[in-house]
Chains A and B, each alone.
Chain A
Amino acid sequence: SQKIEQNSEALNIQEGKTATLTCNYTNYSPAYLQWYRQDPGRGPVFLLLIRENEKEKRKERLKVTFDTTLKQSLFHITASQPADSATYLCALTSGTYKYIFGTGTRLKVLA
């Protein structure tokens, strides 16, 4: 069955460092992969989308890579700040409206 794995353990990093979150998937051929931020008790907020033919995407301090051979995406936040503390979700779609979401990785940036 289709499966997305994100590190369920919380990730604690020091302010100013680069946070790297991982999203691995199996039994799926996604057309798009997306990253969302979710704060406690709130709906997810869209951050970045990367297509299957793209290797890397950047937006300000965010960078996403997509390796369809490894079936993995990495999400980087450079110069991390305490305000970046949240849960980050990856989501896959084969190009239809149906998205499969990971359980998310909780990031905590320590001041």
Chain B
Amino acid sequence: GAVVSQHPSWVICKSGTSVKIECRSLDFQATTMFWYRQFPKQSLMLMATSNEGSKATYEQGVEKDKFLINHASLTLSTLTVTSAHPEDSSFYICSKLRTDTQYFGPGTRLTVL
């Protein structure tokens, strides 16, 4: 397998504030990592692909100015939800690829009040 960690595991914030979520690859360097969002009883939806040393690639319908992704090192990708609103409340999960398989982090539960 492969090991991915996320921090924090949960966060509650006020509407209008920004929240940063960290995703770390603990066992090998990952030039590419992925960010997903999962609403209750729904499937995982890919938000963006994080590329080390270059800009992230966002999926259609995902606001790049709202969901800032930084992949500054080979083991760390961060997702910042800017000016969060209650509709951004969701479960955010990162992943990395190893031989055709995605390995996921434990997820971060974001609640925006």
A residues bordering B, Cβ < 8 Å?
4, 8, 32, 34, 36, 41-46, 49, 89, 91, 93, 97-104
Contact = CB atoms under 8 A, between A and B. Distances in A.
A34 B43 contact: no
A38 to B, nearest CB: 9
B64 to A, nearest CB: 18
Contacts, number: 50
| Residue with the highest number of chain A CB atoms closer than 10 Å, among B49, B95, B101, B106 | B101
Contacts of B67: none
B46 A44 contact: no
A45 B76 CA distance: 20
Contacts of B103: 46
A44 B103 CA distance: 8
A26 B19 CA distance: 37
Interface in B88-112: 91, 93, 95, 97, 100-107, 109
B105 A97 contact: no
Contacts of B43: 4, 89, 100-104
Nearest to B104: A43
Given A43-B105, A46-B1, A32 B100 contact: yes
9 contacts: A8-B41, A41-B91, A43-B93, A43-B104, A43-B106, A45-B104, A89-B43, A97-B34, A101-B44
